[in-house]
Chains A and B, each alone.
Chain A
Amino acid sequence: MNAVRIFFVGGYLAYRALFNWIHWTMYVPTMLGGPIFQILFFAYIGRYAGSQSDKYFLVGNAVAICALGGIFGMAMTIGGERWTQTLSSILVTPANRLALFLGRALPNIANGVIVSTVGFVVGSLLLGVSFPAGSIPAIALIVVVSSFSCTAFGTLIGAFGLRGRDIFFFANLMIFVFLLFCGVNVPLDALPTWMQQVASVLPLTHGIQAARRVADGASLGDVSGLVLTELLIGLCYAAIAYALLRLFEIDGRRRATFETM
């Protein structure tokens, strides 16, 4: 029961504490405005190149932008605890570590879903793309799963924040890696084999594929394999992230380096 409380209440309070500086004048341009222009940017390049349809770029980018909240949010959540010198206070508690860290991920997953949803809605209106009404719940589920897998990956990056100084460099870099490797704007089969192999173990790749097929009329059952793969990849990253958080926590205690910047 205590772990459940830490998961929900602790996660909520941590999010409020670490992101209370985010006014809507900061949130809207950064998390909603920028990503919408990302969708338009690639859709117009696609029109110019004559490569794919607007729907292709809309779906790819609208799913991909959930990574912004997941990757940066988690990197900032864990890195922020260190920056504000509260990490030691948290880790000295006997709280369940799984509930502690995964609870901090929950608001970031929700944020990723909000960002993607706004991307889908505004992008559809601006580009004149429509989706079959029946596909919307399935796409929504895929976005939730993709947001989870991205947040799990962000937790992994955040784990390195217990050791490294500049994890934001890596977080920024991964956003570009996702854009190139995960089939956001380029069909996977157009990429070299080694890039396809890397893409197959990254978050987003299977989620985007599934969302595109659903947007083209496939049912959730048709893409269940892709969705489960996306979920499994997210769970793997979450497990690795948790293991690393524990490892770095133990090592941080041993070397007394939690608050070393």
Chain B
Amino acid sequence: MSRSFRLFWTGWVFNVKNLTMSGFFILNATISPIFFATIAHYMFAGGTRPGSGLLYASLGAGMMGIWSSVLFGSGGLIQWQRWQGTLEYVIGVPPRLIQVVLPMTVATASIGLYSIASTLLWGRVIFGLPLDFAHPAWFILALVAAIVSLGLLGLVLSSTFVLLRNANSLSNLLEYPVWLVTGLLMSLSLLPGWTRPISWVLAPTWGIRGLRAAALGGDPVVPFLMCVALGSIYLAIGHYTLGYFEVRARKSATLALR
């Protein structure tokens, strides 16, 4: 148990540091959320809907940054290991593949903390946003739940995207649709009814609901529990698909080729 935890901790710390040194991830996790928060702020300011304010825009844009980090970081994770020539080592080491990959995907979600921090700081410094959260303790819990569940969603992405030749293009495609269908900057009731089940199975939907409820007022318990439940399901799926990928790659000896 302690060995698994040490492996997770070491891998997580290393990958957070690694991603923090990447200009691309810093752009996606820190700078782009500020641009989107500013756009949303001006759109809400020029609109007619009361109550959609700066904090709403800050939280939504922050969650957009977390999703981008997970999508590009976890979606391309196996492929990047392959390009760097480290995939053989990742698979060849004694710990199970999931124990090595999980800290990496959670790390991609964790640097999303920069997104929330940067958009809240932006709101506070530029627009004087008061950071008076309705349930401060729940806000921290909701943030942790959102990050862990998105990290586990990243596990699913990393293990399924690798089976696709053009996974990068899928990452490019899926950024805006998930922002849209999870209602990060708007109400889901505006979307057609058939999109609702898609929203429900995506962690960002519940992550942002939890953050909003904790910050703006509301019940953060259900979104929190949904993040936990979805995270467990993602873990089970990721465990299976990673195992499938490993067996398939070993059998066909295509680990470094696909």
Interface residues of A (CB under 8 A from B): 23, 25-30, 33-34, 37-38, 40-42, 44-52, 166, 168-169, 172-173, 176-177, 179-180, 185-187, 190-191
A residues less than 8 Å from B187 (CB atoms): 48
Given contacts A25-B165, A29-B172, A34-B172, contact A48 B31 (CB under 8 A): no
Provide the bound-state CA to CA distance between A49 and B27, in Å: 26
Interface residues of B (CB under 8 A from A): 23-24, 27, 31-32, 35-36, 38-40, 42-49, 52, 165-166, 168-170, 172-173, 175-177, 179-180, 185-187, 190-191
> In the complex the two chains form, is A48's CB within 8 Å of B170's CB?
no
A residues less than 8 Å from B177 (CB atoms): 37
Q: Which of B36, B43, B173, B179 contacts A29 (CB under 8 A)?
A: B173
Q: Which of A25, A49, A169, A173 contacts B166 (CB under 8 A)?
A: A25
A residues less than 8 Å from B23 (CB atoms): 166, 169
> In the complex the two chains form, is A45's CB within 8 Å of B176's CB?
no
Provide the bound-state CA to CA distance between A169 and B173, in Å: 19
Q: Which of B27, B38, B169, B175 contacts A25 (CB under 8 A)?
A: B169
- Find the A residue at minimum CB distance from B45: A190
Q: Which one of A52, A168, A169 has the highest number of Cβ atoms from chain B below 10 Å of its Cβ?
A: A169
CB B77 to nearest CB in A, in angstroms, measures 19
> In the complex the two chains form, is A30's CB within 8 Å of B43's CB?
no
- Find the A residue at minimum CB distance from B49: A50
> In the complex the two chains form, is B166's CB within 8 Å of A177's CB?
no
Provide the bound-state CA to CA distance between A82 and B55, in Å: 44
28 contacts between A and B (CB under 8 A): A29-B172, A29-B173, A30-B169, A30-B173, A33-B172, A37-B175, A37-B177, A37-B180, A38-B176, A40-B176, A41-B176, A42-B39, A42-B43, A44-B191, A45-B185, A46-B47, A48-B49, A49-B52, A50-B48, A168-B24, A173-B27, A173-B31, A176-B32, A180-B35, A186-B42, A186-B46, A190-B46, A191-B42
> In the complex the two chains form, is B46's CB within 8 Å of A49's CB?
yes
In order of increasing CB-CB distance, the 5 nearest A-B pairs are: A49-B47, A48-B186, A37-B176, A50-B48, A29-B173
Besides the contacts A29-B172, A48-B52, what 16 more A-B pairs have beta carbons closer than 8 Å?
A: A30-B168, A33-B172, A34-B175, A34-B176, A44-B186, A46-B43, A47-B186, A49-B49, A50-B48, A51-B43, A51-B48, A166-B23, A169-B27, A180-B35, A180-B39, A186-B39
CB A50 to nearest CB in B, in angstroms, measures 4
> In the complex the two chains form, is A26's CB within 8 Å of B190's CB?
no
- Find the A residue at minimum CB distance from B42: A186
A residues less than 8 Å from B40 (CB atoms): 45, 49
A residues less than 8 Å from B27 (CB atoms): 169, 172-173
Provide the bound-state CA to CA distance between A190 and B47, in Å: 11
CB B59 to nearest CB in A, in angstroms, measures 14
Provide the bound-state CA to CA distance between A191 and B46, in Å: 10
A residues less than 8 Å from B168 (CB atoms): 26, 30
A residues less than 8 Å from B166 (CB atoms): 23, 25-26, 29
CB B247 to nearest CB in A, in angstroms, measures 26
> In the complex the two chains form, is A177's CB within 8 Å of B191's CB?
no
Provide the bound-state CA to CA distance between A46 and B185, in Å: 10
> In the complex the two chains form, is B31's CB within 8 Å of A29's CB?
no
> In the complex the two chains form, is A185's CB within 8 Å of B39's CB?
yes
> In the complex the two chains form, is A185's CB within 8 Å of B43's CB?
yes
> In the complex the two chains form, is B31's CB within 8 Å of A176's CB?
yes
A residues less than 8 Å from B45 (CB atoms): 190
B residues less than 8 Å from A172 (CB atoms): 24, 27, 32
Provide the bound-state CA to CA distance between A261 and B56, in Å: 43
> In the complex the two chains form, is A29's CB within 8 Å of B39's CB?
no
B residues less than 8 Å from A34 (CB atoms): 172-173, 175-176
Provide the bound-state CA to CA distance between A186 and B47, in Å: 10
Provide the bound-state CA to CA distance between A29 and B71, in Å: 15
Provide the bound-state CA to CA distance between A55 and B23, in Å: 35
A residues less than 8 Å from B24 (CB atoms): 168-169, 172
- Find the A residue at minimum CB distance from B191: A44
Given contacts A29-B169, A29-B173, A191-B42, contact A176 B185 (CB under 8 A): no
Provide the bound-state CA to CA distance between A52 and B32, in Å: 23
> In the complex the two chains form, is A190's CB within 8 Å of B42's CB?
yes
A residues less than 8 Å from B179 (CB atoms): 41
B residues less than 8 Å from A40 (CB atoms): 176, 180
Provide the bound-state CA to CA distance between A46 and B47, in Å: 8
B residues less than 8 Å from A33 (CB atoms): 172-173
CB A220 to nearest CB in B, in angstroms, measures 28
- Find the A residue at minimum CB distance from B41: A186
A residues less than 8 Å from B38 (CB atoms): 180
Provide the bound-state CA to CA distance between A41 and B61, in Å: 13
> In the complex the two chains form, is A179's CB within 8 Å of B39's CB?
yes
